[in-house]
Amino acid sequence: MSRDDTPADDKAVVPYAVGYGKPPAERRFKTGKSGNPRGRPRGNKNPRRSPLSAERANDFLLEEAYRPIVLREGDRVIELPAIQAVFRAMGVAAMKGNRFAQKTLAELVVKVEAERTEAMTQHLGRMIEYKVQWEREIERCRTARLPIPEPLPHPDDILIDARSCTVRVAGPVTREEKAWFDRTVTLMKMLQVQVSFYAAATRRARSQTRRDSHLSELHDYQRQFDQMNDMLPRRYQVDLSDRSDHPDASKPGDYAKKMGIELPGFPPPKALPDELLQLLL
């Protein structure tokens, strides 16, 4: 007997043949009784997408955009972020006469340049206002003989180039950098004491052997002093007393030239000599 030939249930309100989507009468929902007595689970009435899901999607997008890919340019094999490869392909297409690529690339460049100029202008204005306000406040405290504030960054460390309309901070801007600076200054004072001690010992030495030994110690401490001094902004650099003028002795600026530090050289370079790291840490 086929599904359509199934006899109808005479007790049903509307008799129908039992089959797919047509359960027997004893299995149908009873009138006035819920088919889900426990109700909808809490929190599932209007489920909302977590805001973190959008952040994860953005992370994935940026990860793919900056994922390095390998390209061949003539005989060279280069590695570029994916987004840079896309822009490079767009530039090549534009130079070959693709009008859509030309228009898109030109609009992107104009937009980026305008946003960058606006951001630089706003930053320059904020830094000028910050510098002027703190200079006035420091002068007010100095005139009233009040404690001189030490804001971060210090207004004297804010260098403004009126020609290029750029601003640079040549000094500590965070508490961590300030702490590093304070440790460096303290160590430089200790090195100054050692330099003066061995300079005096060198002058008092009666034998050439003792003199050479003391001079070697003096040069070592002088070298460490010059390394630290070169990493400080010009405003904070100090002159070393009892400096040795021996040809083998270090000189101010030597370490900066060696490490390629553009003075003022703050913050410190990432690659520091091991013996200097032991002193700073």
pLDDT tens per residue across span 235-268: 888 899 999 999 989 998 888 777 665 544 444 4
User: What average pLDDT does the segment 188-196 reach?
Assistant: 93
Cβ(229)–Cβ(256) below 8 Å: no
230 and 195, same structural domain? yes
| Residue 54 banded pLDDT, cuts 50, 70, 90 | confident
| 76 belongs to a structural domain | no
How does the average pLDDT of the chain come out, rounded?
A: 81
pLDDT at 261: 59
pLDDT at 105: 93
Which residue in the block uniquely carries the two structure tokens 């390394």? 227
129 and 222, same structural domain? no
User: What average pLDDT does the segment 212-234 reach?
Assistant: 90
244 and 195, same structural domain? yes
pLDDT at 280: 45
Which residue in the block uniquely carries the two structure tokens 């750029």? 166
| 18 belongs to a structural domain | no
| 236 belongs to a structural domain | yes
229 and 273, same structural domain? yes
| 150 belongs to a structural domain | yes
Among residues 182, 156, 178, the alpha carbon closest in space to that of 234 is found at 156
| 92 belongs to a structural domain | no
Among 32-46, 52-66, 205-219, 260-274, where is mean pLDDT lowest?
Answer: 260-274
Among 7-21, 83-97, 183-197, 252-266, where is mean pLDDT lowest?
Answer: 7-21
| Residue 213 banded pLDDT, cuts 50, 70, 90 | very high
191 and 125, same structural domain? no
Per DSSP, what are the bridge partners of residue 19?
22
What are the structure tokens assigned to 237, written together? 């650099």
262 and 204, same structural domain? yes
pLDDT at 184: 87
Identity at 68, one-letter amino acid code: P
User: What average pLDDT does the segment 266-273 reach?
Assistant: 46
187 and 270, same structural domain? yes
261 and 183, same structural domain? yes
Count the domains in the chain: 2
- State which of 39-43, 86-90, 261-265 shows the largest mean pLDDT: 86-90
Among residues 83, 112, 85, 106, the alpha carbon closest in space to that of 94 is found at 106
Q: Residue 105: give the domain boundaries.
A: 99-156
pLDDT at 12: 47
Cβ(198)–Cβ(218) below 8 Å: yes
144-172 residue pLDDT tens: 999 999 999 999 999 888 778 888 888 88
| 199 belongs to a structural domain | yes
What are the structure tokens assigned to 248, written together? 């083998």
User: What average pLDDT does the segment 174-191 reach?
Assistant: 88
pLDDT at 254: 84
pTM for the model stands at 0.57
| 125 belongs to a structural domain | yes
Among residues 180, 168, 187, the alpha carbon closest in space to that of 268 is found at 180
Identity at 35, one-letter amino acid code: G
195 and 276, same structural domain? yes
pLDDT at 178: 87
| 139 belongs to a structural domain | yes
pLDDT at 10 over 70: no
Among residues 261, 260, 241, 267, the alpha carbon closest in space to that of 181 is found at 267
User: What average pLDDT does the segment 206-216 reach?
Assistant: 93
pLDDT at 34: 64
